[in-house]
Structures are given as structure tokens and as C-alpha cells.
Amino acid sequence: MNMKLQQVTTTCPYCGTGCSLNLVVTDGVITGTAPFYRSPVNEGKLCPKGTYAWQFINNRDRLTRPLIRKGDVFIESSFEDAYALIAEQFSFFRPDEIAVLSSARCTNEENYLMMKFARGVLRTRHIDHCARLCHASTITGLSLCFGNGAMTNSIPDIAESGCILCLGSNTFEQHPLVGRRIMQAQQKGAKFIYADPRYTPTARQADLYIQFYSGGDVAILNCLMGEIIRNDLEDREFITTRTREYEKLRKVVLQRRYEPESIEKLTGVPANQLVTAARWFGEADTATVLYSMGVTQNTVGVDNVKSVANLIMLTGNIGKPGSGVNALRGQNNVQGACDMGCLPNVFPGYRKVTDGRVHKIVSDYWDFSEPICEPRVGYEITTMFRVLLERPWELKCMYLMGENPLVSEPDLNSVEDAIQNLEFLVVQDIFFTETCQYADVVLPAACYAEKNGTQTNTERRVQRIRKAQNPPGQAKPDWKIICELAAVMGYKKQFSYPSEKEIFEEISVLTPQYSGITWERTGRPAGVHWPCPSADHPGTPILHHDRFDTSDGLGVFHAVEYKPPHELPDESYPFLFTTGRIIWHWHTGTMTRRSKNLTDEVNKAYIELNVEDARNLAIRDGEPVRITSRQGELVCPVRVVRDIMKGVTFMPFHFAECAANRLTTDAGNQVGKIPEYKVCAVRIEKVRGN
Ligand code: SF4
């Protein structure tokens, strides 16, 4: 019998690196992955998650039919019945009583349609997604300094840098194919400085490793800038011609409290390491900062981002190859979901919802018979759950696509209480997640390999995903579900798209950064970097070449002082608890924990404890311990390691049955509203009987 073998080129569904890969299809069923060499992002290489990104697709747990709650059980149903019920229920609520969560895992087309559905059909202003939980501080902080919140340079460009400072990003585990570019830069002579509380695989690769407590970023960065200025290593011409507010920065960073000896006392980082880092960064012809959630997931996340931007402008390292602020975005399409306006304050292309002119442009183009949502900023995801908990009469209904807040939100015990206050919840996903347990209706969606679309990676590269097999059972692409539901609710005209291509064409019209990007161009191996203003424009891999996106074209220094994190260890909770990803798993584990090769590596929660701390507590490697924070408690085994600072603990957040977010605090950054996942205080005790 002849087997039909095909390879379908697509984009990895996991991290924001956006590696291309080939899905191997045997007789219509995906059976493996193979390299796709023509992508400039990963040049045929994949990390373990990408290599095994096919294994969860045909897992028997996939949702195949809509489910409708009847009392305590779910009954399998048809899409027609599910749509009728949802349409009826949605009609009972006022627009402000409904919240929508879009998804950084879904395509640009799906996020765009979810945003249009929320603002046009439900007429609610409350739409957000998980970008709030990872890089809201980046968007806010970089917008204030540069007028644009995106990564400034491209991934291949990192290999051109002469000095790389990496902060709060375990790049070699979390964005492995970006880590490869760091190694390529080192092979060409670059210095690699890594600052993090854990001696991670990334630290092992560093030329200089700076170990410090989470939350000390501003102190360290101010110290480096002070040293650069004292040693005349600042770029005076760049500062004079391209920036403003420099004197305010200078005054702050030259204070005695930021001198290396003072910072050594504050953070424990040896002064000579700070002096070396400042010299390497200041003397390099080109230097770049890479950072991730260790920087953003703090109450001072926006200040951290502003400090990074200050360092880059101080040394004139922007707008040229090998330079820039390179914020590594988490999910595959978190950049795209933000670009599509799935945030409570902006329409597509980051145009403010409060701008009456933009509101009219969007509203006229959509042509709904009734006015769309009010021109007011809506609730962020963290605010949604707080309102649900404290004022449930204000928020009563939620429509959620491809998000699993019952694992991903901070202070999970409160979120669990909050979600039960909803009067009606619709969840659309590929598996029956922890959040589905609280739903009234669950809709089965197609996964990345069962639909077409575009997604935008961390470096603003818009590229294609392609359908390689049919979805299981009745499952459908999210965009189709949204269109069909909108039609049932009376909005067929506004949601009539023959295919994903026509949705993308509408995106190009309403998203200025995408205006020159066509569906055909996104299908090329290199995709297209936004901004791309016209069809003959090549796209923009490097931002801010000769002007910033601020109103006067100048970069703005923001002098920031060090502030300690919201919650530091004390007598009752003596350990600093921090969370993160490991190379084998992705976020809430919905996909990776159904991939055999990945679960064979690690499939259980654990907490890392310094060897000296373990000795003091008489805890042995592998023993279970009780971890208690002000938010909750967990029991899980200990990994005794030398790689983490004394007094600090680390726990991966992928394991729902032992979810690290039962302990984390929802203390939010006042400006970006991002929770402080990276720092909270805990107590660790031996479990009685051990
Ligand atoms: Fe996928 Fe990220 Fe790994 Fe690339 S680096 S294969 S995008 S998980």
C-alpha cells in the first residue's frame, strides 16, 4: 500500500522566537516534524519543544464537540445549540458586564476578530489577554521612552553585537534559538554579560555572570550608567542630537547610592563585576540588552524597562545593527495579539481607544448598525478578576479564547473564588483546561496545525502558519467559531470572510504598521517585519534608525530611582520565591504535558533550594516540603541545588496540580498592571513525618 507523505511549512506554536518547521503528514495525519532551513530566524534548528510540537496534536484528550453544562455535568452538544445558548445569554448582559480574553496562542486573524467581536458585537470595552502577564511593562515603558513598545532589532541581528547584556531572561532555556545568536556573537568576539538570581544554563555561557536578587534591576542599571558617565563612555553626540531629559538622568545615576560599592552593599554584587560590566558595555562598538519576564514581572517593571532604555540611549546603541532593546516576548503570538488591539486601551496598531478620530475610523469601517464600545479604556485581565471578586455585580459574563487563567493568573486561590462569581462563562480551547471546569459552554477549537493564518514573533516578523491536517471531530478554527457566533447574533455582514486571507486584508487596512504587508508576502520564508508602510517597502528589521516614534522624534530619558519589590522576605516568610519556565514545558502545560518526549524529561513540580538553606532546614534532596506564602500553600519535592542564591527559591509554573501561582501575589505594577510573579516571600518547612 502506498503511503502519502507530505511536508507542510509552518511556525512553532510555543515561544515568541517564531521558528519555522515542517510538519510531516502521513496519509492526512501529522506524524512528526522536519527542519525547514530557509527561515532566517532558526535556519532549520529547533529546540525540544519545537521538535516535539506535533505530539499533542492527536492526543485523545482533544475537545471534539461543544459541551454545555447541565448542573454539575457537561453534555455533548452541537455548535448550533451552543451558539443559540451563548447568543441568548450574551443578550442578557449590558456591555460593561461582559469581559473578553483573547489569546497570544491564536493567529492575528483570530485575535483581530475577537477584538472586533468584543468591541462591535458585545460592545464591551473590557478586552485583554496574557500580554498583561508578561510584557505589559515593556509596552508601557518603551512607549514612554521611544514612542513604540516593540523589540527594536531582529533575532539574526543579535549575532552582530559586540556586547550583550542579558537581564532576567534564561534565554538558553526559554528562547533557545535566540540563545544560539548569542553564541554566534561570542564566536565573533562579543562579550556576554548575564544578570540573574539563578546560575542557569544561560549563566554557564556568560563571560561575566552577575548574581543578584530579583527586583534589584534599577539599582544595577543605574550603577552601570553612573560608571559609564564617570569614565566618559557615554555617546555625547547621540545624547545631544537624538534625546532629551538627559540631565535629569545624569543627576540620579551619579548619586553616591548608585556607586559600585554602595550597590555591592545593597545587592551583594561585587563592585568589581559592576565596574567590568559598565566598561565592556560602554566600550563596545555595538551593544544590546536582551531581557524577559525577570525584568517585567515586577511591581517596578515599567521602571526596569525605562532603565534599560536609558542605558541604550546613553551609549547610543539604537537604530543600528547589533544594538537595541530586545525584549523577548513569551508566547508565539503575543506580539501579534497586542498589534491587533486585544488590549483594553488600544485599537489595532496601538491607536488609543480614547481618540475620537480613531474610534470613528474603526467604527465607520466596521459599519455596525449600533454604536461600538464606548471610547473609554476597559479592564485589564488582573482588574477583571479583582472586580469579579470584590464587586461581582459589575462584571457577570466572560468569553475566553485560548487562555487558562486558572493556572496562569497570580494568587490562584482568589482567582478560583472570583471565577465562580460569573453568571455565564464561555471557554474556547483545544483541551478541557482547568478553566473549562468553571465554564457554562466549552467550544472545541482547531490547534495551530489545523488552520491557516499569520502570527507575529518577538522581532515583529509577520509570518504564516499553515493547515497540515483536519481538526478532530467537530472542532473548528477559532476565527470560524467567532464568525458563526457573530452571524447567529445578527452580524453576518460584518463577519463574512471567505478565508483567513480576507481577514488579513482588513487587518492591513486598520493597522498602520501592517499597511504594506499582504497575505502573499507573509507566506515567504522570511515573512515581513512591521512597520511596513507600502507594498514595495521591504519591512523594518531595525527600528529608530534616525528618529524615535515620539511626537518630536527624540528619545526621552526617564530618571528612575531604585524601589524595593512589594514583598520582601521577613521573619515569618524568610525566603524569596521566584517562578519561571523550564526548557521542556510551556506555560500551563496544556500542550507540552501531552507530548511524550517532553514529559519523559520532567513531568512533576519541584522547588529549587540552595544547598546551604537545605542543610539549615535539615531537608534532603527529593524530600517533600510545605511552601507557604501570604496567598496560599503547596507541598512539593525539593531539588537541592548550588545554582540558586542562598535565601532564594525557584519553582516552574507549568504544573496545574501543584501550581506555583497559588503562592504568587497579584500586587500589580501601577502603570502596566503586570503582576509581580517574580518576587514574593515564602516559608519552607519539612512535611511532618519525613
Ligand atoms: Fe519553538 Fe521557541 Fe523552540 Fe523556536 S525556540 S523551536 S519557537 S519553542
The residue whose CA has the least distance to atom 2 of ligand 1 is: 15
- The least confident of 120-129, 258-267, 294-303, 402-411 is 294-303
pLDDT at 136: 73
Q: How many CA atoms lie within 13 A of 354 on its CB side?
A: 5
| pLDDT exceeds cutoff 70 at 670 | no
Quote the CA–CA distance of 579 and 410 in Å, as a whole number.
11
- Determine if ligand 1 sits within 6 Å of the CB of residue 12: yes
Average pLDDT over residues 565-573: 82
Q: How far apart are the first and last CA of the chain?
A: 59
How far, in Å, from the CA of 54 to the mean position of ligand 1? 13
- Does the Cβ of 142 fall within 6 Å of ligand 1? no
- Number of helices (H) and strands (E), helices first, in the chain? 25, 28
The response to whether residue 42 sits with its C-beta less than 6 Å from ligand 1 reads yes
pLDDT confidence tier of residue 669, bands split at 50, 70 and 90: very low
pLDDT digits (tens, 9 = 90+) for 494-515: 999 999 999 999 999 999 999 9
What pLDDT digit, counting tens, does each position of 5-48 carry? Answer: 999 999 999 999 999 999 999 999 999 999 999 999 999 999 99
Answer whether residue 678 shows pLDDT above 80: no
Q: Which atom of ligand 1 is nearest to the CA of 176?
A: 5
Cβ within 8 Å of residue 439, ≥6 positions away: 67, 69, 425, 426, 427
Per residue in 120-155, pLDDT (tens digit) is 999 999 999 987 666 678 888 999 999 998 999 999
State yes or no: pLDDT of 666 exceeds 70.
Answer: no
Does 15 sit in the ligand 1 pocket, CB within 6 Å?
yes
State if residue 16 touches ligand 1 by the CB under 6 angstroms criterion. Answer: no
Between CA 174 and CA 295 the distance in angstroms is: 14
What average pLDDT is seen over the chain?
A: 93
Which of ligand 1's atoms lies nearest the C-alpha of 13? 1
Instruction: Please report which residue ranges of 160-204 form alpha helices under DSSP H.
Output: 171-174, 176-187, 201-204
Buried b or exposed e, range 390-423, using 16+ CB within 10 angstroms = eeeeebbbbbbbbbbbbbbbbbbebbbebbebbe
Given CA atoms 89, 93, 99, 102 in this order, what sign does their dihedral have?
positive
Question: Ligand 1: distance of its center to the CA of 40 in Å?
Answer: 13
Range 469-490 average pLDDT: 98
Nearest CA to ligand 1 atom 1: 50
Integer-rounded Cα radius of gyration of the chain: 24
Looking at residues 666-689, what average pLDDT do you find?
Answer: 67
Judged against a pLDDT cut of 90, whether residue 586 lies above it is answered with no
Q: Which of 10, 19, 36 to mutate to test the pocket of ligand 1 (most atoms within 8 A of CB)?
A: 19
Least-confidence region, from 197-201, 205-209, 213-217, 537-541: 213-217
pLDDT at 342 over 80: yes
SS3 628: strand
101 lines ligand 1 (CB under 6 A): no
Is residue 641 classed exposed, middle or buried when 0-12, 13-18 and 19+ CB atoms within 10 A define those classes? middle
Is there an atom of ligand 1 within 6 Å of 677 CB? no
Query: Does ligand 1 come within 6 angstroms of the Cβ of 177?
Result: yes
pLDDT computed for residue 25 by the predictor: 98
Is there a contact between 177 and 47 (Cβ–Cβ < 8 Å)? yes
- Answer yes or no: is pLDDT of 673 > 60: no
Residue 577: which of 566, 569, 585 has the closest Cα?
569
| d(CA 364, ligand 1 centre) in Å | 40
Query: What is the model's pLDDT at position 200?
Result: 92
Task: State which ligand 1 atom lies nearest to the alpha carbon of 50.
Answer: 6
106 C-alpha to ligand 1 centroid (Å): 16
Residue owning the nearest CA to atom 4 of ligand 1: 19
Residue 686's H or E segment, with its range, is: strand 680-686
Mean pLDDT of 146-165: 96
Give distance in angstroms: CA of 67 to centre of ligand 1: 32
**Best residue among 9, 17, 54, 457 to mutate for probing ligand 1, ranked by most atoms within 8 Å of CB:** 17
Q: Report how far apart, in Å, the C-alpha atoms of 337 and of each of 302, 404, 465 are.
A: 20, 16, 15
3-state secondary structure 57-120: CCCCCECCCCEEEECCEEEECCHHHHHHHHHHHHCCCCHHHEEEECCCCCCHHHHHHHHHHHHH
Going from the Cα of 9 to the center of ligand 1, the distance in angstroms, rounded, reads 15
Report CA(132)–ligand 1 centroid distance (Å). 21
Ligand 1 geometric centre to CA of 21 (Å)? 10
Ligand 1 atom at shortest distance from the alpha carbon of 14:
8
> Is the pLDDT score of 2 beyond 80?
no
CA of 53 to the centre of ligand 1 (A): 9
Percent of the chain with pLDDT over 70: 96
- Residue 178 Cα to ligand 1 middle (Å): 9
Which residue, judged by its Cα, is nearest atom 6 of ligand 1? 50
pLDDT of 135: 65
Specify the pairing of strand 346-347 against strand 324-327: unpaired
Closest atom of ligand 1 relative to the 18 alpha carbon: 7
Q: How far apart, in Å, are the Cα atoms of 425 and each of 90, 113, 373, 389, 688?
A: 10, 19, 20, 15, 40
Ligand 1 atom nearest to 51, measured from its CA: 6
Cβ 17 under 6 angstroms from ligand 1: yes
483 Rama sector, left if φ>0, alpha if ψ -120 to 50, beta otherwise: alpha
| Minimal-distance CA residue to ligand 1 atom 3 | 47
Q: Where are the beta strands (DSSP E) in 168-278?
A: 191-195, 208-210, 243-244
Q: In whole angstroms, how far apart are CA 39 and each of 333, 453, 526, 530, 609?
A: 17, 17, 6, 17, 40
- Say if residue 353's pLDDT is above 90: yes
Bridge partners, 203 (sequence order): none
Q: Is the CB–ligand 1 distance for residue 36 below 6 Å?
A: no
Q: Which atom of ligand 1 is nearest to the CA of 21?
A: 6
Strand-pairing partners, residue 22, are: 9, 34
Q: Are 426 and 399 contacting, i.e. CB atoms less than 8 angstroms apart? A: yes
Query: What average pLDDT does this structure show over 410-420?
Result: 88
For residue 15, give the ligand 1 atom closest to its CA: 2
Question: Using one digit for the tens of pLDDT, what is the confidence trace for 236-285?
Answer: 999 999 999 999 999 999 999 999 999 999 999 999 999 999 999 999 99
Contact 469, 28 (CB under 8 A): yes
Verify whether ligand 1 is closer than 6 Å to residue 455 (CB atom).
no
Q: Which three cell numbers stand for residue 622?
A: 527529593
Task: Write out the three cell numbers for 157.
Answer: 541581528
Among 9, 23, 49, 335, which residue has the most ligand 1 atoms within 8 Å of its CB, making it the best to mutate? 49
Distances (CA, A) of 84 to 90, 191, 493: 10, 60, 18
Compute the distance from residue 173 Cα to the ligand 1 centre, in Å. 10
Q: 580 pLDDT band (50/70/90 cuts)?
A: confident
Q: Is the CB of 50 within 6 Å of ligand 1? A: yes
Q: What is the pTM of this model?
A: 0.94
